[in-house]
Amino acid sequence: MVIGTESVNVRVDEPVERSSALNRPLTRRGFVTKGMAVVGLGTVLPAAFVRSAFAESLPSGVTSKRRVLVVVQLGGGNDGLNTVIPYSEGKYYDARPRLAVSAESVLPLNDQVGLHPSMVSMKGLFDQGKLAVIQGVGYPNPNRSHFRSMEIWHTASMTENAPTGWLGRLLDATHHEQKALWKAANIGAEIPQSLATRKTFVPSLASVQSYGLRETGARRTTDWVRLYAAQAAMGGALALLSKTGTDAYESTLQLTGKTAAYKPMATYPGNALGTALKTSAQLISSNLGTGVCYVTTGGFDTHVGQPGAQTGLLKAVSDAVAAFQDDLAAQGMEKDVMTLIWTEFGRRVKENGSSGTDHGTAGPVFVVGGGINGGLFGETPSVRNLDDNGDLKFSTDFRSVYSTLLSRWFQTNPKDVLPENYPEIPLWG
Amino acid sequence: MARLVTSRQRIQHLLRRAGFGYQASELEEYALLGFEGAVERLLNPEKVNDSATDAVLASILEPMAGNPDDRDVDRVQREALYRAWYVRISISKRPLLERMTYFWHDHFATSQAKVQKATYMQQQNETLRRHALGSFRELLLAMAQDPAMLMYLDNRLNVRGKPNENYARELMELHTLGVGTGYKETDIKEAARALTGWRIENHKAVFKTSMFDSGEKTILGSKDNFNHEKLVDLLAGDRRTAAHLADKLVRYFVRPDGEAALTRRATDEYMKTGGSMRDVMRTILLSEAMYSDGAYRAIIKSPTELVCGTQRALEIATDGRAEKNFASPMGQVLYEPPNPAGWSGDGDWVNATTVLARSNYAQQTTVRNSKSAADVAVLLRRYGATTSAAAVVDFTLDLLVGGDTDATTRTVLIEHIGGANHFNFEQAARDGSLQGMMYLALSMPLYQVA
């Protein structure tokens, strides 16, 4: 793997692994200390980049310095075919007598495909050139298990139980300051596998307000810090707990006085996703050096009663993402932030017997940003040319999306994160 | 540093793993039995009188007799469901029985978030408990016709000619053989046919012959006109199932990175006894591996273990109403596993928010004059741990972590309540430093591990 061969060793600082696997031991197998990353063809990255993760030089047309990626994960497998709808394709209507969305009601992106009628807000972003719709995204030999397919997307690896996530590897590859505790933030209760790192601390928080130790007075807090410091030396599970606790506490101190100035300048919907994206905007505006924010929203596993459920879900996503984009623009941060929206798989072309759809394969990915080329990318998946299981064939590998964001947005070498080369998607230039 | 030397130390470790910690008086009861006697008491819950627990639960569970189709009844039942189990775990005198019930809830993960019927979840919980230390084959069969399971993995929709593979897949992948053990997609498809015919009517699981696919099926190389019972026999008797369960139990009770030799012995015991979980558990609980240095303090307590174990140790008289809100910010609510694979546990319990949430829980449960919090001074008086700062701290550390801490930890706690020279029990109880000491002990990493 590239991370190993590229490493010019400097020193080991004994990090605690933050593996997120099922009962997996906290081994140090395969751990490699990152020194100065060496880019392909012998080029050495400028020192400025290596010090500051999210970087200095910029793609053409982008003028700001800050680089942030906000990831929105739609958990459960969103039905892509009823999200970016091939409304001019008769076979689509044949396959879905009960679930098909009528051609009159879709929000057309061109004369063949259109967005689900509940996605008015995102259609607005499309019309402003701020939304890229990448069609037919998937990977070879698609897996229809939620767990396994999510794992593949999170780790960008076809190997089971890969120890780190793709964003985790990005963070580790640029990790040099022990006190940089806000390089990334997960808005939610559980760190997604995408953010599994070997050495970088990633805070997870439900909201800025709720994040922190309850006030117990100076004496208790001082002694709490002493106990956590003392027990870090005990190794194993105790070291993981101690270091996480200490970093978490210090990360709350770094927030002090920085987050209060933020005032949302758009009306976010009252749903959980809207609240999480507002928190992301708050963190980004607080200048903590945050390069990645991660948000997960669920409910897309629509085996039963899909029409009502998906309408509500897509409206929630669409409204929240558009409000977030409006807020960023009003705060003067629109050129600093990209948003990536993905799901672990699309669903079967044929509807099932209970007004729902079962697990399928390829689906659309959305990228939203102020400085991108908006529009439609990739091939529209054909509902006539299906795989052996009657599912859509993918045309764009999801790792192409990652690779494009890594090289063009973060200006980093995708090889730090992905084992192979993937063609870029022309979202910039 | 062999840490678990004395019989008492081994029993403390045993009760942290095979139970949910211990009250100080409870520990002494087990200690009187000796190590092997303590193991046998845990393994034979039916010989322990637990009528006090039953009496408390009877009143909480009273609404379960009502008709769940009545919305008001349903609302009360939903609350009773959670309360009853949190209380039971906190006070039961049959800790291994509760531990195993909890293990099976994780193994046969079923969520109220999807089932949305408290009576079904309660019934499943009682079924899990009834078979918790019995025959795995009986447990598996009971789960195949359990209303909550039929709802959760959609098997009630699995009908002849229109099979639904959801349950068949998880049955092999999660409940029995284990992922990647050589079964094929065709085995899943054929097993789904064998599992057809089950519906829920009048809140009961019923078998409908007309919806059952009675044709011949080939599953794992065997040809038969399999039904659910024959399939259960096939799967429960397969050595891969034994090995899968043994490995999971060893990771769960002994060490999260597994222990191959013990797993082999537990697998053999399963095969020898026809899947007697009591015998498999005896093999594990009496093994040397369980008390080895590699197993010591290697397991991160789940939020349920932490909250219910704290209530037990600090003798908090809980009514079961607060636990869900205590445990949820730490990442776990009973009856709501995140997916059919259950909670991933271990290192996944640990992130910035969940670790701070554990300390915040410690604060909430040591606050004075709260119904759901501990009365620290009363507890210490009850056991006579009042004479010096060292006496208070040593009692607390022995109760919570079995003693054996570094010098700094002990010193910090002793100094917190006035140290050798300025300690006065009544004053420490009044000025909050006693509660502060307990807050610190409950917050510290050492208390988060078992």
Q: Say which amino acid occupies A395.
A: S
pLDDT in tens, B309-356: 999 999 999 999 999 999 999 999 999 998 899 998 999 999 999 999
Test mutation, A193, A216, A221, chain B, max B CBs within 10 A: A216
Distances (CA, A) of B130 to B98, B125, B127, B135, B152: 11, 9, 5, 10, 21
Q: What is the pLDDT of residue B187?
A: 94
Beta-bridge partner residues of A343: A74
Q: Is A233 on the interface with B (CB under 8 A)?
A: yes
**Residue B64: CB atoms within 10 Å:** 18
Cα–Cα distance measured from residue B440 to residue B359, given in angstroms and rounded to the nearest whole number:
8
What is the residue whose two structure tokens read 């069609």? Answer: A135
Distances (CA, A) of B251 to A87, B260, B296, B346: 52, 10, 13, 10
Q: Is A353 on the interface with B (CB under 8 A)?
A: yes
Question: Helix, strand, or coil here: A365?
Answer: strand
In a domain, A277, yes or no: yes
H-helix or E-strand spanning residue A340: strand A337-343
Q: Which residues contact B99 (CB under 8 A, 6 or more apart)?
A: B18, B19, B20
CB-CB contact of B16 with B4 (8 Å): no
- Do you know the residue count of chain B? 450
Residue of A91, A86, A88, A82 lying closest to A386 (CA atoms): A91
- Partner-chain contact B359 A202, CB within 8 Å: no
- Partner-chain contact A241 B300, CB within 8 Å: yes
Cα–Cα distance measured from residue B300 to residue B198, given in angstroms and rounded to the nearest whole number:
39
Q: Is A253 on the interface with B (CB under 8 A)?
A: no
Number of DSSP helices (H) and strands (E) in chain A, helices first:
11, 12
pLDDT grade, residue B416 (50/70/90)?
very high
**Which chain B positions have a beta carbon within 8 Å of A294's beta carbon?**
none
- Partner-chain contact B359 A226, CB within 8 Å: no
**Which chain A positions have a beta carbon within 8 Å of B344's beta carbon?**
20-23
Write out the E strands in B208-358: 217-219, 222-224
Mean pLDDT confidence for B44-63? 97
Q: Which residues contact A334 (CB under 8 A, 6 or more apart)?
A: A325, A328, A369, A370, A371
What is the residue whose two structure tokens read 């008390």? Answer: B291
Q: Which residues contact A281 (CB under 8 A, 6 or more apart)?
A: A262, A264, A324, A327, A328, A331, A333
Domain tally, chain A: 1
Residue of A369, A378, A379 lying closest to A428 (CA atoms): A369
**Residue B52: CB atoms within 10 Å:** 11
Through-space distance between the first and last CA atoms of chain B, rounded to whole angstroms: 17
Residue of A154, A180, A155 lying closest to A73 (CA atoms): A154
* Sign of the CA dihedral running B289, B292, B293, B298: positive
Chain A closest-CA separation from residue B331 CA (Å):
7
Q: Is A41 on the interface with B (CB under 8 A)?
A: no
Angle between helices B407-416 and B433-443 (to 10 degrees): 150
Cα–chain center distance at A34: 23
Q: What is the pLDDT of residue A16?
A: 38
Distances (CA, A) of B164 to A299, B116, B172: 20, 21, 14
What is the residue whose two structure tokens read 């690779």? Answer: A403
Cα–Cα distance measured from residue A323 to residue A316, given in angstroms and rounded to the nearest whole number:
11
Residue of A176, A87, A153 lying closest to A361 (CA atoms): A153
How many CB pairs (< 8 A) connect A and B? 155
- Partner-chain contact A227 B256, CB within 8 Å: no
ipTM attached to this prediction: 0.96
Cα–Cα distance measured from residue B147 to residue B210, given in angstroms and rounded to the nearest whole number:
19
**Would you say residue B291 has pLDDT above 90?**
yes
| The two three-digit tokens of residue A91, written as one number | 């076979």
**Which chain A positions have a beta carbon within 8 Å of B444's beta carbon?**
224, 227-228, 231
> Could you write out the DSSP letters of every residue in A273-339?
HHHHHHHHHHHHHTTS---EEEEEE-----SSSHHHHHHHHHHHHHHHHHHHHHHHHHTT-GGGEEE
- Partner-chain contact A233 B444, CB within 8 Å: no
Question: Helix, strand, or coil here: B265?
Answer: helix
Q: Is A190 on the interface with B (CB under 8 A)?
A: yes
Distances (CA, A) of A358 to A350, B130, B198, B339: 9, 35, 21, 17
- Partner-chain contact B445 A227, CB within 8 Å: yes
Q: Which residues contact B18 (CB under 8 A, 6 or more apart)?
A: B39, B42, B95, B96, B99, B253, B281, B285
**Residue B326: CB atoms within 10 Å:** 23
**Which chain B positions have a beta carbon within 8 Å of A247's beta carbon?**
352
pTM here?
0.88
Q: What is the dihedral of CA A210, A216, A220, A221, to 10 degrees?
A: 30
H-helix or E-strand spanning residue B438: helix B433-443
3-state per-residue secondary structure call for B228-251? HHHHHHHHHCCHHHHHHHHHHHHH
Cα–Cα distance measured from residue A400 to residue A392, given in angstroms and rounded to the nearest whole number:
18
pLDDT in tens, B198-249: 999 999 999 999 999 999 999 999 999 999 999 999 999 999 999 999 999 9
Strands A375-377 and A363-369: unpaired
Question: Helix, strand, or coil here: A69?
Answer: strand
Q: What is the pLDDT of residue A174?
A: 83
Q: Say which amino acid occupies B179.
A: V
- Do you know the residue count of chain A? 429
Question: Helix, strand, or coil here: A265?
Answer: coil
Cα–chain center distance at A316: 18
Residue of B251, B254, B370 lying closest to B311 (CA atoms): B370
Q: What is the pLDDT of residue B2?
A: 54
Comparing CB atoms, the residue among A206, A219, A241 nearest residue B350 is A241
| The two three-digit tokens of residue B39, written as one number | 């193991």
Angle between helices A218-231 and A236-255 (to 10 degrees): 140
Domain assignment of residue A91, given as a range: 48-208+259-416
B63 or A388, higher pLDDT: B63
Chain A closest-CA separation from residue B59 CA (Å):
34
Residue of A386, A367, A387 lying closest to A377 (CA atoms): A367
pLDDT mean for each 10 residues of chain A (429 residues):
26 34 26 24 31 42 73 97 98 96 98 98 98 98 87 94 93 82 93 92 94 95 98 94 97 93 97 97 95 96 90 98 98 96 96 83 97 95 91 97 96 93 95
Comparing CB atoms, the residue among A220, A230, A232 nearest residue B439 is A220
Through-space distance between the first and last CA atoms of chain A, rounded to whole angstroms: 30
pLDDT in tens, B84-104: 999 999 999 999 999 999 999
Q: What is the CATH number of the domain that holds A181?
A: 3.40.720.10
Query: Angle at Cα B385 formed by Cα A214 and Cα A224, nearest 5°?
Result: 25
Strands A68-74 and A396-397: unpaired
CB-CB contact of B247 with B262 (8 Å): no
Say if residue A22 is exposed, middle or buried (CB neighbours under 10 Å; 0-12, 13-18, 19+).
middle
**Would you say residue B302 has pLDDT above 70?**
yes
Cα–Cα distance measured from residue B323 to residue B318, given in angstroms and rounded to the nearest whole number:
9
- Closest-approach residue (CA) in chain A for B349: A190
Test mutation, B444, B446, B447, B449, chain A, max A CBs within 10 A: B444
In a domain, A216, yes or no: no
Cα–Cα distance measured from residue B212 to residue B196, given in angstroms and rounded to the nearest whole number:
5
Q: What is the pLDDT of residue B169?
A: 86
In a domain, A429, yes or no: no
Strands A204-205 and A131-138: unpaired
pLDDT in tens, B346-380: 999 999 999 999 999 999 999 988 888 999 999 99
Cα–Cα distance measured from residue A291 to residue A337, given in angstroms and rounded to the nearest whole number:
9
Q: What is the pLDDT of residue A358?
A: 82
In a domain, A246, yes or no: no
Question: Helix, strand, or coil here: A367?
Answer: strand
Cα–Cα distance measured from residue A373 to residue A128, given in angstroms and rounded to the nearest whole number:
10
Q: Is A254 on the interface with B (CB under 8 A)?
A: no
Question: Helix, strand, or coil here: A363?
Answer: strand
- Partner-chain contact A213 B356, CB within 8 Å: yes
What is the residue whose two structure tokens read 């669920």? Answer: A298
- Partner-chain contact B363 A216, CB within 8 Å: yes
